[in-house]
Structure 1
């Protein structure tokens, strides 16, 4: 495989106890660039775990040839029916064997110090909270076009996001995710509690952040470690607040319907989170907080708003918070299982 000779020397330079969970679906167009960025890591991964979601292109062969050429341990998930992004990552994460796991999309490019930066933050967290504490590290991203031309130097700022205080992290995560999966590094202690990812989880990265904030800690590094590529096939891309507002104004009915459906999905996610936290003997205060917010969203109407206020529930920014309260007020009560 051309171009890997120089990368192989650096690949053998600094091993770490990290698995990379890579999920693919017809990603051949940009996949090689992502794999090559693994070779340029100043702290290299020990293991690459691939779960392909039924690609009809050369995605699997690109990854297997890459691993063979550079001598990287590769674990390939068994062939399976189409799972979707969340359950595809669930399968990949279940197969990872190392102490730390980095989540990888198929179309980004990692900056050379991506893993070293996240691992340093992880070790700082372990020194502060103990090695038995579930931890999740995430970072900012540089947003780029399909040809890697810069669009925004900060994904977080372009989305109007910020890292909340540790005290507020769980309260915000109950109704809004702010941690991007492709930047995440998680430890084994978190995976033992978070896996398997339930089908009710809205997004896999949101679920991981919820469990981390409930049982341990979410840690943020305020610097980009990834070039986050935007193209026509993105599952989740970037929308500025202004663009989102324009779309809502242009199609208010469809956005209202979508927002109400998302509130219902959020309540279902919190329901399975409450069960998972009970199973892993999380702090009673966290379980009760999750339960009360779940019930507040599920009841709908004006009562929903009152209950959310009593739990100090908010999202990042006044507009997002007001939208949440409005949607919960407008939706009816969710049916009981």
Structure 2
């Protein structure tokens, strides 16, 4: 049975985010308190001050910075079986840890557990939108526990896009490969990770409760990737993992229109 001491929030900090402290505060406000660390490739006084203020262990990454590298480093600093990679701009609702621990304990072979989510736009909650509705529809089949372990169902869901919100995911490390992430993608490394995990025996545990909020803002990696077309190139690469090239191009073209809602 997993308890709070078996779980770590690994906060990946970069630059001088004005939202980092709000993220930390949301983790400290969990109904069930687990461990928290901060990992960064851009050590600075802002991050150091917050780590000292809240007495949170701070780890400095070595090697060439990059999203995949930074995420793998953050996971590597954790000595718990369960890890949530918390993005510095996002916030977690108080019941997140308790709900995820319960879900993990009710699974015979958990791979990942992830939750429904809302957005923060101009610091205001947005819990209903076209994109969020589509993602909830795609994930609805995973509410059935039998489907959580179905490779066919998981791959069919992922073949239409990536409805899993990356910062909502908790990883069960003993049942997953190491390292968790490949480092060749900038935007879709999470989708690529779900694609690999979808082939493994075990369960994708979906909690349909809204338990965290992902911030959309001009400085986010998602917004930047959409603007410089990184997302569109990597989207096509991903769709070609599920479809013949001609169909993949068509699906990618339709999918790209939904990304408009990730811009302000």
TM-score by length of 2: 0.75
Q: Deviations over 1:210-260 (max 9, x none)?
A: 2332112211111111122222212225xxxxxx9xx9xxxxxx97x9645
Partner of 2:27: 38
Q: Distance in 2 between matches of 1:109 and 1:184?
A: 13
How far is the alpha carbon of 1:115 from its aligned partner?
0.9
Query: Does the Cα contact within 8 Å between 2:32 and 2:97 map onto a contact in 1?
Result: yes
Matches within 5 A, 1:82-231: 83-126=65-108, 133-147=109-123, 149-153=124-128, 156-157=132-133, 162-163=138-139, 164=141, 165=147, 166=150, 167-173=152-158, 176-191=161-176, 193-201=177-185, 203-215=188-200, 216-231=202-217
- Cα deviation for residue 180 of structure 1 reads 1.1
Distance, in Å, in 2 between the alignment partners of 1:54 and 1:91 is 13
Aligned length: 239
Deviation digits for residues 39-98 of structure 1, max 9, x if unmatched? 21111113x2322121555123312431x2xxx6x2x33343552222211111122110
Per-residue deviation, 1:141: 1.0
Among 229, 235, 240, the alignment partner of 2:221 is 235
Unaligned runs of 5+ residues in structure 2 are 142-146, 256-264
Q: CA deviation at 1:113?
A: 0.3
CA distance in 2, matches of 1:214, 1:194: 15
Q: Do the aligned partners of 1:31 and 1:107 also contact (CA within 8 Å) in 2?
A: yes
CA contact (8 A) 1:16 1:43 kept: no
Mapped contact 2:111–2:204 kept (Cα < 8 A): yes
Is the 2:39–2:59 Cα contact (8 Å) retained in structure 1? yes
- The answer to whether the 8 A contact 1:142-1:228 is kept is yes
Partners of 1:82 and 1:220 lie apart in 2 by 34
Q: Would the aligned equivalents of 1:113 and 1:225 in 2 still touch at CA under 8 Å? A: yes
Quote the residue 2:262 is aligned against.
none
Using a 3 Å threshold, how does the CA distance of structure 1 residues 195 and 123 change in structure 2: closer, same or farther?
Answer: same
Map residues 11-26 of structure 1 onto 2, 5 A cutoff. Answer: 15-26=4-15
Distance 1:217 1:24 in 2: 29
Q: Distance in 1 between matches of 2:209 and 2:118?
A: 9
* Structure 1 residue ranges without an equivalent (≥5): 1-13, 127-132, 238-243, 248-253, 271-292, 298-303, 309-313, 325-337
8 Å Cα contact 2:31-2:98 kept in structure 1 = yes
* CA deviation after TM superposition for structure 1 residue 146, in Å: 3.4
Structure 1 residue 53 corresponds to structure 2 residue 37? no
| Aligned residues: CA RMSD | 3.4
Measure how far apart 1:134 and its partner are. Answer: 4.5
Higher relative contact order (CA 8 A, sep 6+): 2
Q: Distance in 2 between matches of 1:119 and 1:320?
A: 36
Which one has the bigger strand percentage?
Answer: 2
Structure having the higher Rg: 1
Q: Give the superposition deviation at 1:266.
A: 6.2
